[in-house]
Structure 1
Amino acid sequence: MQYKVIRIEENMDFGCEERQPGERLMSVVILEREDGREISLKHDDERLYERDINEGDIVTLDENREIWKVQP
């Protein structure tokens, strides 16, 4: 299934504590399914940059819920 990236936000939910040293920065990614429903998931922010995933892109999810950009 393909999804459209609606929004990417920095995950600021660390509970009572701040992000720990060495802990990876996570983003909350809001995706729109083909049927119009939205889903959200946390994803490693560095991987989003490595894969050049931005708002408006069309992506897929693999079996590990990793996001991959669909190449035009």
Structure 2
Amino acid sequence: MITLDCLGLRCPIPVIRLARAMPGVAVGEIVRVLADDPAAANDIPAWCRMKGQEFVAADGHAFDVRRVT
């Protein structure tokens, strides 16, 4: 699992960092995004839908995304 620490960063930086990290992630691997910006709860799942990635779970300030493609 790869962890991206985006705590303290505001929208859209957590999603931008997730997008930049994805090319280096193996298909099937999970990226955990740590983000405390309230917008991340909507932005990360929306990004997954738009990009064809799997939003796995949210737990507090942790958002797990599985690379599908």
Q: Normalising by structure 1, report the TM-score.
A: 0.25
Higher helix share: 2
| The structure with more radius of gyration | 1
Higher strand share: 1
Q: Normalising by structure 2, report the TM-score.
A: 0.25
